Structure 1
Amino acid sequence: MATPTPTQGAAEHRLPQNVIEQLVSHIASGGSETTTIPAPFTGEPLATLPVSTADDVKAAYERAREAQRAWAARPVSERAKPFLRLAEALVDRRDEILDLIQLETGKARRHAMEEFLDVALCSLYYARRADKMLKPKRRQGMMPGLTRVRELRHPKGVVALISPWNYPFALGASDIVPALLAGNTVIHKPDTQTCLSSLWVLDLLTALGLPKDVWQIVVGEPAEIGDPLLEEADYVSFTGSTRGGKAIAAKVAPRLVNYSLELGGKNPMIVLADADVERAARGALRACFTNAGQLCISIERLYVHEDVYDRFVPRFAELTRAMKLGAGLDFDADMGSMTYARQLAAVTAHVDQAVAAGATVLAGGKARPDVGPQFFEPTVLENVTTDMDLCASETFGPVVSVYRFRDEDEVIARANDTEYGLNASVWTKDVARGRRVAARLQAGTVNINDGYGAAYASYDAPMGGFKQSGVGRRHGTEGLLKFTEVQTVASQHLMDLEPPGSMGYEKFADLMATGIKTMKKLRIK
């Protein structure tokens, strides 16, 4: 049984009123309607927020378009200055933001720390490199030396960015930074429950020199502000469910507005016969139960080779049962609360249905209201079959099913047998073999001897999904250039692209054809 740690007093799970007032002042809202969000750890009210209306969104776009012209006119090096200052400012105020992330999400502090690191390191990566990424680039012309070509990058304009509740600080700020560095302005709709951390970093960046109206935050339900948010956007960035991503794509398609979507996953982990069993079992804890499994790249399917299954699975279950649950604002707990009651209900339904249909609980398996209203034990299930919802549908909670396999071809086929393709994990002492297996997996990122962090936190490499797990990529050059329009400017010199003087077209055609062979021979083309 996962053990609880003592829960601190209720006062620790509240925010000072002056802090709340400062943060909510950044919400683009002119009305009197409000909503109150609860603290997942306790169920008690955490903050009351003003709600944005459709008119508020339209007004925000007007301000954003005005601000965008001046922002885009700044040199990239000037745009980067607030974000270069951000990394040190985050370090200086680390405890403040970790507390806030925990209070609004219910996650353990060690998992809130991942968000802190993501924003600090990803922001620094782009602030250092945006100028080079956006510089005009020379490209090879049609006629070497005579056709001179430059590739230019222009901002899209105003970006609509919709970020999810599970990693609100990381999946808000770390996507907004490259959008802003590219010269865009942003209208950001975070999830209402977890908008405080986004408001906090906006408040901080404003103090660090980010101009007014370059990044604006609207808060409200999709039914009220979803359509106006999408109707005026020049680009849409969305992280969330596959269902939500498809709805957004359909909405903006008539205007031919481009978008990037990071969506759901049913991610596999493969433990090969030569894996270090102890290392893999400990690695699986983090891969499966970080943020109570509320992570799009977490592992939900665990395939273990038959030669090590009977050693790995009991050890993994033992480690899972020993995990500490807790609601403290410290690093003691191994796992925190779920964020939403509805997600707790969905996870409970998946587990209960699987158990009723014959699955075996090896660890966990139930809610823990004795720790807090939305806690669920880290859970390991065996004998999960294809007729159970848990087998193929994304659970998005602290639940993993374990399966035995015999050979490499079999496990690769089973790992790929899903509509999703976001992340995967391979464990082996032979890294070269791990890379060969990884290349056969239909997933946007594959980690060898790690669950998800090695690939995700390597910001110089793109991150995104195959199949129903998304469109486009974050991170790397693609993560910034997707927020730009590319323009080719070519100038022709000395000789036009037509017969010179009195030369006929037939002779000109012969000359050009001969030129192809010559350029190939000289490796000019």
Structure 2
Amino acid sequence: MSSTVAAQVAVENPANGSVVGVVPDMTPEEVAALAARLRAAQPAWEALGPRGRKKHLLAWLNWITDNRDRLLGLVHQEAGKSWGDAQIELLVAVEVINYVTKHGEKFLAEETPSPHNVSAISKRLRLIRRPHQLVGIITPWNYPLAMPMMDVPGALMAGAAVLTKPSEVTPLAWAEAVRGWNEEIGAPPVLGVATGLGATGAAVVEQVDMVQFTGSTETGRRIGIRAAERLIPASLELGGKDAMIVLDDADLDRAVHGALWGGLFNAGQSCVAVERIYVEAPAYDEFVGRLVKAAEELRVGHDEQGSFATDYGAMANEKQMEIVERQVADAVAKGATVLTGGQRRTDGLFYPPTVLTGVDHSMLVMTEETFGPLLPVMKVANEAEAVRLANDSPYGLAGSVWTSTPARGVRVGTQVETGGMNINNAMTNVFQFPLPMGGWKSSGLGHRFGGANGIRKYCRQQAFVSERVNVKRELHWYPYTHRKAAITDAALRMLGMHDWRRRLGRPAK
């Protein structure tokens, strides 16, 4: 949670309310000045080429790893996470930087397509990728270091300057990472951070040439509209309501533990978290019994740095807690049963693992995004009902199917309308960097990262044509004549038609 004091934003630990630090609440004018400095540095950064940029990115990776305790300590405090949940944020930084530096030169290489027909044989064709000069990356509060790390290395590798806007709720770890880039490793000044409230984020959208936004569907729509008005590209990774389908032949031990980690990691505050579970009737009772028992064994709290004494930590703010409480109250009022959990703790913003049964799609917990540690479980008759209910949602970010039969996993998984699908795992598609990560329906627009597109999306494509042989005039240039028209028509028929009657210009019978 945060509060504004003069031109600063105080950052509080949601586990105990202590102030962890303060950051500037930057004005639109300050954002514009920062954007101008980044733009001025970008041409030299682009001129380094992929190999030159790779050296700076790997130096940054070394600095991040050397300073992991400082960075992860900030994540741990500003987000109120368990120390175990905080650890994965370093993994993301390491994996993404290594992936983009390993493949960046290949992904950005100039392409030389062949002419499409004989008439174009005199042309030399090239596809050149040039970065957007200034990319804006706006990220949410749930993973203070990992969220920008999913986007920024790809944009830097592409040759863009990058203006980032972290959430005002958790800006400290990322601001420190940016300081490391600018002050510790001798990198060119092409990475900046704009801290502040909503007006700061809006100012970033006004200054950049391309925007990558991760956050709520409501805010994403507003950013997409403004980007369209400015005629700049926008990539949007938005909300989710990911379904977990447990078939009757699933390994229930693995499915239960997958549901716990996939649904409760980071207190359930993940866009790709398991948010609703559909279990085939023959497996339902046993699955629910095991799930409740395992949920009650989880440790909730804000442990000491390095202790690994708890499994997940606090909710990010009171607003998020209220969403969880509202969904549970709505479900209970409509007939759901709370088998474990269901009440916030009195010490800090902690909410226990909560399993609900007797749920249906009249309840908010099954239809609205939660972002909290709730596991609503619904019994279904068969695969078809599970798929129908999974698709009964405006969201389509990711999902999972649990079965011991590979063919069933493929059959069911390919029917679910979602950008990512996991068989016998949860959330893992996000970490498979050769694959695209993005949502369908109201879960987003475009792909956030993955494969060549994770770098190329930050570039503009330039179609480059040059002449192999220079002649005084092309056949189709002025002046038009009957003779040139006849030659052009004969060539068009011979090269473009697919049967000899039309190639020879014979009349139809």
Which residue matches 1:101?
75
What is the TM-score normalised by the length of structure 1?
A: 0.88
* Cα distance between partner residues in 2 of 1:74 and 1:382: 58
Q: Cα offset for 1:517?
A: 6.0
Which residue matches 1:362?
339
Matched-pair contact (CA < 8 Å) for 1:86–1:120 = no
Matched-pair contact (CA < 8 Å) for 2:475–2:484 = no
Q: Which range is displaced more, 224-233 or 146-155?
A: 224-233
* Cα distance between partner residues in 2 of 1:502 and 1:250: 51
**SS class of match (2:442):** helix
Which residue matches 2:296?
321
Which residue matches 1:18?
none
Matched-pair contact (CA < 8 Å) for 2:205–2:227 = yes
Which residue matches 2:188?
211
Show CA shifts across 1:376-400 (max 9, x none).
0111111123332212010110112
Which residue matches 1:434?
409
Q: Which range is displaced more, 267-276 or 426-435?
A: 426-435
Q: Cα offset for 1:191?
A: 0.7
* Cα distance between partner residues in 1 of 2:451 and 2:266: 25
Q: Which range is displaced more, 488-497 or 381-390?
A: 488-497
* Cα distance between partner residues in 1 of 2:499 and 2:55: 45
Pick from 137, 143, 165: which aligns with 1:161?
137
Show CA shifts across 1:464-504 (max 9, x none).
00000001112221111111110111234458863799954
Which residue matches 2:233?
258
Show CA shifts across 1:420-465 (max 9, x none).
0001011111223212222111111101110112x11011111000
**SS class of match (1:154):** strand
* Cα distance between partner residues in 1 of 2:499 and 2:135: 43
Q: Which range is displaced more, 432-441 or 243-252?
A: 432-441
Which residue matches 1:342?
319
Matched-pair contact (CA < 8 Å) for 1:173–1:201 = no
Change (3 A) 1:79 1:285: same
Matched, 1:510 2:490: yes
5+ residue gaps, structure 2, are: 501-509
Show CA shifts across 1:361-380 (max 9, x none).
112111112xx310001111
**SS class of match (2:343):** coil
Matched-pair contact (CA < 8 Å) for 2:360–2:378 = no
Give the letter aligned to residue 508 of structure 1: T
5+ residue gaps, structure 1, are: 1-30, 521-525
Matched-pair contact (CA < 8 Å) for 2:49–2:159 = no
Give the letter aligned to residue 10 of structure 2: T
Show CA shifts across 1:224-253 (max 9, x none).
323322222101110000000001111222
Show CA shifts across 1:300-331 (max 9, x none).
11011111111111101110111111211222
Q: Cα offset for 1:507?
A: 4.2
Give the letter aligned to residue 293 of structure 1: G
* Cα distance between partner residues in 2 of 1:79 and 1:502: 56
* Cα distance between partner residues in 2 of 1:346 and 1:393: 10
**SS class of match (1:476):** coil
Change (3 A) 1:519 1:121: farther
Any residues of structure 2 matched to 1:88-167 within 5 Å, and which? 88-144=62-118, 145-167=121-143
> Identity, % of aligned pairs?
35
* Cα distance between partner residues in 2 of 1:182 and 1:211: 14
* Cα distance between partner residues in 1 of 2:443 and 2:482: 59
* Cα distance between partner residues in 1 of 2:27 and 2:491: 65
Matched-pair contact (CA < 8 Å) for 2:96–2:149 = no
* Cα distance between partner residues in 2 of 1:140 and 1:124: 33
Give the letter aligned to residue 421 of structure 1: G
Matched-pair contact (CA < 8 Å) for 1:40–1:340 = yes
Give the letter aligned to residue 62 of structure 1: A
**SS class of match (1:301):** strand
* Cα distance between partner residues in 2 of 1:89 and 1:54: 31
Pick from 354, 376, 393: which aligns with 1:401?
376
Give the letter aligned to residue 423 of structure 1: A
**SS class of match (2:289):** helix
What is the TM-score normalised by the length of structure 2?
A: 0.91
* Cα distance between partner residues in 1 of 2:245 and 2:192: 42
Any residues of structure 2 matched to 1:407-486 within 5 Å, and which? 407-453=382-428, 455-473=429-447, 474-486=449-461
Pick from 173, 198, 211: which aligns with 2:149?
173
* Cα distance between partner residues in 1 of 2:66 and 2:163: 27
Matched, 1:286 2:261: yes
**SS class of match (1:137):** coil
Which residue matches 1:382?
357
Any residues of structure 2 matched to 1:241-280 within 5 Å, and which? 241-280=216-255
Which residue matches 1:189?
165
**SS class of match (1:480):** helix
Change (3 A) 1:321 1:497: farther
Change (3 A) 1:519 1:475: farther
Change (3 A) 1:114 1:439: same
| Equivalences, count | 485
* Cα distance between partner residues in 1 of 2:71 and 2:361: 42
Matched, 1:225 2:200: yes
**SS class of match (1:376):** coil
Matched-pair contact (CA < 8 Å) for 1:289–1:398 = yes
Give the letter aligned to residue 196 of structure 1: L
Change (3 A) 1:146 1:41: same
* Cα distance between partner residues in 1 of 2:302 and 2:424: 30
* Cα distance between partner residues in 2 of 1:105 and 1:497: 65
Q: Cα offset for 1:418?
A: 0.5
Which residue matches 1:15?
none
